[in-house]
Amino acid sequence: MTSNSASACTWGAASAQDAARACVERPHLAMMGLYLGGFIGLFSESALNVALPQLTKVFGITASLAQWMVVGYMLVIGLVLPFAGILMKWFRTRSLTLFAIGAFFVGSLMSALAPSFGVALSGRLIQGIGTGLVLPIMFAVVLEVFPASQIGGAMGLMSLIIMSAPAIGPSLSGVILGYFSWRALFFIFAVITAVGLVFTAHYLVSPFELTRPPVDAASCVLSCLGFGGVVLGFGLSSLLGWGSPAVIGSLVVGVVALVVYSRRQLASDSPVLNLRAFSNKRFRVSATLVMISFGITLAAMYLIPQFAQNGLGLTATLSGLLMLPGGIVNAGVSLWSGKLYDRVGAAGPARCGFAISCIGAALMLFTSTDTPIVYLIAAHVLLMVGVPLAMSPCSTNGLSALPEEMNADGSTILNTMEQVCGAVCTAVATGMLSAGDAVGTSAGLDTCAAATMGSHYGFTFVLILAVIGLLLSLGMRKASR
C-alpha cells in the first residue's frame, strides 16, 4: 500500500511522531530500484578501469583515449548532479527515476554492442546521466519513506552501496574479465538496471510536492562550466600533466564559474541548487566529513592496486582480489554504523572512524617490496572499517539537520561534493604516486622500490585526509544527531 498524501504513515513507526512522511508499507521495496541503480552506477565507476587494456587492443586506440571511458563518465555525472534537486521539484520522483535508470540501461546496451570506440564512449556518457540523477534521488527519497527511528539504518545501507560498490569493482570485474570479454561487463550492467526498472515501476512513490520554481538559464550554464570544468581539469591532469594548458584552462574556468554560480544561487529566490544549506553548521561540518571519507576511499582504492602490482609484483587479478576482504568488511560496517547512529548519534562514530583510518593509512607508510600480502590486506581492512564508520552517520546527521523542503537540495549537494572530491583526490593521489616514483628512479632505486616510494607519497596524502577528518570530527557535538 502506498500513498502520496501528507498525512502521517505509521508503518514500522514507534509512534505517530516517528512516522514516515510518505506512506509506504515496504520502504525497502520502494527503494530497491534506486539501490540497484546507485550500486551499479558506482560499481561501474571503478570496475571499468580493469577493462581499459582490452578496449585499447580491440579498438586499436591509445591508453589516454581509452581513459575517456572513465573521465567522460565522471564528467557527465558532475554536469548532471547539480540539477537533480530542481528536477525533483519539476518532475515526479518515479518518472525521473525511470528516466535515469532507463538512460543507464540504454547506455549499457550501446556500449555492450558498440562496433566502434565512439559508440562505446557515447553509451558510457549516457550512463553518466543516469548515475548523476539516481544518487541524489536515492538520498532524498530515503528521508521520506522511512520512519525517523529507522533512517540511520537505511542510510547505513546506502552508505554500504556508495562505499562498497567502487571498493569491490576491481575485484569482481577482474574475475568477470578473466572468463569473458569487456562487453560482458556492460551486459551485466544492463541486466541489473532492467531489474531496477521493474522495481521502480511497481513500488517507488513520488513523495515530493511539485513546486515547479522558475529556472535561471544563466545559473544552468554556470553550473555546467563550474562543476564540469573542475571535474574535467582534475580528470585530465593524470593524462596530460598539471602543466597542460587544457588542465589549467579547465580549472580556471571551473573555479571562476563556481564562484559566480555560488553568488548567484545565494542571491536568488529560486536557486537551481539551494546553497543556503551550508548556513546550517551541522550540515556544513557533516558534508565536509562525508566528502573527506569518500576522498580517502577513492584515493586508497587507486593506490593499493598500484602498489600491489608495481611494488610487490602481483598480477592484476590478485591485486584486485586482495581488496575483496576490505570490501566485505566495508559492507558490514556500513550497515552497522547506520544503526549505531540511531543509538548514539554521529560524533562518536565519526571520531572513531577517522582515528582508525589514520592507523590504516599510517601502516601503509611502512610497506616495502618485501611486505607480506596479509599485512597489506590488514591495513586495507582498517581503512574499510574506519571510512564507513564515519561516513554513514555523518551523511544521516547532515541531511537530518535540514528542513524538509531542503532535502532534495541537501542530497544533491552531498553527492555533487562526493563526485568532485573523488575526482580531485584521485588526481592528487596519481600525481603524488608519479612524483614519488620519479624521485625514487632518480635516486637509483630499482623499479619496485621506486614504485613503493611513490605509493608512500600517495598514502601520505591519504593520511593527511584522515587527520583532517579526525580534527574536524572533534568539533562535533557529542550528542550530534
pLDDT digits (tens, 9 = 90+) for 6-18: 444 544 444 444 4
- Range of lowest pLDDT (337-341, 361-365, 435-439): 337-341
Residues 74 and 423 sit within 8 Å (Cβ to Cβ): yes
Closest C-alpha among 129, 113, 123, 105 to residue 68 = 123
Q: What's domain 278-481's architecture? A: Up-down Bundle (1.20)
Q: What's the average model confidence in pLDDT over 401-428? A: 78
Distance CA 412, CA 354 (A): 24
- Per-residue pLDDT for 285 more than 70? yes
Residue whose grid cell is 515526479 = 92
Cα angle 477, 299, 375; round to 5: 95
Q: What's the average model confidence in pLDDT over 176-195? A: 88
Percent pLDDT > 70 in the chain is 89
The dihedral sign for the CA sequence 178, 180, 185, 188: negative
pLDDT at position 63 is 62
Tell me the CATH number of domain 20-210, given options 1.20.1250.20, 3.40.50.620, 3.50.30.60, 1.10.10.10.
1.20.1250.20
pLDDT at position 24 is 64
Distance CA 456, CA 367 (A): 8
Asked whether the domain spanning 278-481 has the same topology as the one spanning 20-210, the reply is yes
* CB atoms near residue 34 (< 10 Å): 27
- Range of lowest pLDDT (228-232, 308-312, 419-423): 419-423
Closest C-alpha among 207, 203, 208, 168 to residue 33 = 203
- Hey, where are the domains in the chain? 20-210, 216-269, 278-481
Closest C-alpha among 201, 75, 162 to residue 127 = 75
Cell of 232: 574535467
- Per-residue pLDDT for 175 more than 70? yes
pLDDT at position 23 is 63
Confidence of residue 451 (pLDDT cuts 50, 70, 90): confident
* CB atoms near residue 124 (< 10 Å): 23
pLDDT at position 179 is 78
Q: What's the average model confidence in pLDDT over 380-398? A: 88
- Per-residue pLDDT for 220 more than 80? yes
Residues 347 and 403 sit within 8 Å (Cβ to Cβ): no
Confidence of residue 148 (pLDDT cuts 50, 70, 90): low
Confidence of residue 177 (pLDDT cuts 50, 70, 90): confident
Distance CA 278, CA 382 (A): 31
Residue whose grid cell is 560524533 = 347
